[in-house]
Structures are given as structure tokens and as C-alpha cells.
Structure 1
Amino acid sequence: MRPHFVLSLALLIGAAGGLEAPPLRLGTRGSPLALAQAYMTRDLLMSQFPEELGAEGAIELCIMKTQGDMILDKALSEIGGKGLFTKELDVALLGDQVDICVHSMKDVPTWLPAKTVLPSMLEREDTRDVFISPKASSLSELPDGSVIGSASLRRQAQILAKNPTLECVNFRGNVQTRLRKLDEGVVDATLLAYAGLKRMDMEDEATQIIEWDEILPAVAQGAIGLQCRDDDERSLRYIDKLNHKATFDAVACERAFLAALDGNCKTPIAGQATIQDGQIFFRGLVAKPDGSEIYRVERTGPLADAVKIGNDAGEQVKADAGIEFFEWLQAQEPKLAVAQ
């Protein structure tokens, strides 16, 4: 039998249902939080498509280590920013090593590689930050001169705006590593995303849940996005079923704000959108890393204009702060001291 005839016969059998579909490959980082989010995605896919994806082995997790996971002694602002958590997953997706990438949306740059799309987001978790400390019951009660571990210039700027005597030091690694360092007394306190703690059933670790008026969360915080190749009809069909439209619209508004500001990890930017009665409510800010200047914006409008609202808010902040402010930010080398 000739090889091309064997191939044709195999294709005919497969089309008739005689061959099983290959496993659906989910690409994910290997941190405990990333794995929790990947398993959540897997379980949702299994429940939505029990006949196709419910069997053991129908979904395969492909775990990857990114540059952002490996370089922990420097702040993200020093080593290239958010793309460090997605580049390896992008390469695997374009190389057909995975079918779907599971992302924490606040780690995803506002641009996507050509031939990929991010059309689906799971229902968002609580977006607030939490304060964790064995020495104080709230951020405002920390004694002057206390040391806070955080890899986020956004958090640093808002913390120092409230109390410039506090010291922020680079504090990276997974949640468990940061909590261990806190227990060892490396720092006096830290701030983490409440969503991550909740997804790992660790919300009891929070000392205080911080409201938006005190610390405005990061753009897209608490949201999980699903990315695939733009011509992969099988994956597109699966992840479309998981899309939570309210989350998708709110995050689209926030990411439009970030894109308008050309935001990166050298620029302290925060932005959050909520949806109520067909209206979208947006709050955003941009600041100097030391908290000495903060520009805030609020916008409200119809949900259909979510992206426009985010973009307009970004343009307003740019006008309020002035071009010199952003030129100054980009010229800086913002560095956080390293927690030992």
C-alpha cells in the first residue's frame, strides 16, 4: 500500500469518527497560581464540553518557565516589563506546541503577536489588593520607616503618596515565596492581589483588604485571558463558550487606557472599570514612582463605548500631566532596592 493512500485512508477514518482527536494543549506558567488558573480553565472546558473534553487525557497541560519567572533579583521595570511573562508562551503557540495559552491578564502586553487572538476571558475575581503584615493591621497603621516588599511601581507610588517615610523594596517570586520571606522578617509588610490568594484558597493570609480609594488596582487585575491562533477554529469554538462578556468589556476599557498611555512597567499606572445597568464606570491614574505627583481620571459612558472610554481617559491624563511628565518618566531608571 502506498504511503499517500495510507494517509488518505487515515483521514477518512478520522473524519468518520474512527480516530480520537488529539489532546487540547493548554500552555501555562508553572507557578502555583498559574497552575491553579490553568486547572480552573481545564475544569471549565471539561464541564462545557463533557463529550469531547471530559475524558482523561483529552486536555493536556504544557508547563513553561518564562524569563519573568527566572530573573527574580531585579524589578520588572529593569528587565523589560510584562512581556517577560508571555514571550515563551507566545513562541509555543505560534510554533504549534500548545493550542491555548492561559494568562493572568495584567501580565499581558497591550499588543499581541501577529496571527494570535485573545477573544475570551473567564469571569473576573475580586480585583482589590490586600495588605499582609505581622506588625500592623492596616497599611495606614504601619510605623514610619517600615519596609514594604513589592515589585510593583504602581503600588509603590500610591503607598509613598500616603506615607513617604515608608521604603519599598523589590519583592518578587511566587506568592508562597513572598509570604515565606515576610515570615522570615525580610520585610515588614507586602501587598498582593486578592484574586491570587482566593484562587489558591489562601485568602485567610490577608491582613486587610484594600479598597480602591486607598490603592487603585492594576489594569486587568483579577482577570484570566485565553489566547489562541487566529485560524484555530477548534480552540476558538472551545474558548468562546467560556467568555464572560462583562469581564471582557471591562478589561478592554482598562487596556485601552493603558495603550493610550503607552504604559509599561516603568510607568506607575492603575485602572479599573465596573459595569452597571448598561453603563461602564472607569477610574484610572498615572504617577511618579515616588508618589510625588499623581494624575487621576474618571469616565462614565455606555457599555458599547468601553474601548473609547478607556482611550479617552488615557488621552485626558496625558493632557493633564503634559508631555514633559511622560518624557521624564521614560528617561528614568526606576529601581527598587532588592529585599535580601
Structure 2
Amino acid sequence: GLKRLGIKIDYKRFSIEEIIPAVGQGALGIEVRKDNKKIKEILSRIHSKETEVCVKAERAFLKTLEGGCQVPLGAYSWIEDSKLFIVGFISDLEGERFYRLKEEGSIFEPEKLGKDLAKKLLKAGGEEILKEIYERGEK
């Protein structure tokens, strides 16, 4: 977008090792009436099955952690060599305790992969972090 506007700025792309984005970051979701075949046909041309699979894994991760807007967590998934990868984190509000894990699995079971990663983060210390945040009333 900046290029189209003729705006040139220096920037750096962050790696996954530096920053894990919010769940579904960059994915576009569009709601369409069930019976609107014309719009569904138009949108099918831009639909990315790979993005759909990745977002399903990330959303399952978020749902399993029951993360709200006040919970510092994130997840990013990608497909490589026909495998699905997901990396996720959870942190306390102060950023003093931070847990980050990565999983790989089948592209045909994205929700399972997201849930599995979330459960491992909960066991690693995420459950305690969530309990503390919710006790503060910051869900």
C-alpha cells in the first residue's frame, strides 16, 4: 500500500524468532449470506486453502487457552513440505515469565495441532499465568 502511495520508508521484517503475531494476524475473513452464490463465487477466486488451514490451527490454540484481549499470547502457523507448523507463546502481564513452544503435525488436522500446542503451554506454566490474570479481573 505504501508503494502505491509513493511513500518510501525504510523498514525491517520481523522474524518469528523476534515477534510472534496475534492469532490470525493478516488473514481476511468475509461473511456472506448463505444463499448468495454470486458473491461466494467471486470470493472463491481469492480464497487461500493454506491460509484457512493455518488460521484454523491458530484459532484452536486461542480457544483452548481461552485467551481474551488482555492475555499476552500469540501464534503463527505455516505449511512447509506438506507439514503444518505452529509456534505460540503466552506471557504474564509484566513480561517476566514467557513460554514459547513449537509443534508440527498434519495439514489435515489443524485444530488438533493448535489444541496440542496450547495444552503443552498450559502445562509449561501458562495455566498459572492465566489464573493470575483472571484473578486480577483482566480477562
Question: TM-score band, normalised by the shorter chain?
Answer: 0.7 to 0.9
Check the 8 A contact 2:73/2:89 in 1, yes or no: yes
Check the 8 A contact 1:266/1:330 in 2, yes or no: no
Distance 1:297 1:332 in 2: 26
Which position in structure 1 is the counterpart of 2:78? 274
Count of aligned positions: 136
TM-score (norm 2): 0.84
Check the 8 A contact 2:86/2:104 in 1, yes or no: yes
Question: What RMSD over aligned residues (CA atoms) do the two structures have, in Å?
Answer: 2.1
Which position in structure 1 is the counterpart of 2:111? 307
CA radius of gyration, larger in:
1
Check the 8 A contact 1:272/1:283 in 2, yes or no: yes
1:321 maps to which of 122, 125, 128: 125
Check the 8 A contact 2:91/2:129 in 1, yes or no: no
Which position in structure 2 is the counterpart of 1:235? 39
Does residue 102 of structure 2 align to residue 298 of structure 1? yes
3-state SS of 2:70 partner: coil
CA 1:332 to 1:231, structure 2 compared with 1: closer, same or farther past 3 Å?
Answer: farther
Which position in structure 1 is the counterpart of 2:90? 286
Check the 8 A contact 2:99/2:125 in 1, yes or no: yes
Deviation at 1:317, TM superposition (A): 1.2
| Structure whose residues are more often helix by fraction | 1
* Residue type at the aligned position of 1:307: E
Check the 8 A contact 1:254/1:310 in 2, yes or no: yes
3-state SS of 1:304 partner: coil
Identical columns (%): 26
Distance 1:223 1:206 in 2: 24
3-state SS of 1:274 partner: strand
Does residue 71 of structure 2 align to residue 261 of structure 1? no
Distance 1:308 1:200 in 2: 38
Distance 2:2 2:17 in 1: 26
Distance 1:238 1:213 in 2: 37
Check the 8 A contact 1:285/1:296 in 2, yes or no: yes
Does residue 58 of structure 2 align to residue 248 of structure 1? no
Deviation at 1:333, TM superposition (A): 5.6
TM-score (norm 1): 0.37
Measured against aligned partners, the alpha-carbon deviations of 1:33-62 in whole angstroms (never above 9, x if no partner) come to xxxxxxxxxxxxxxxxxxxxxxxxxxxxxx
CA 1:256 to 1:200, structure 2 compared with 1: closer, same or farther past 3 Å?
Answer: farther
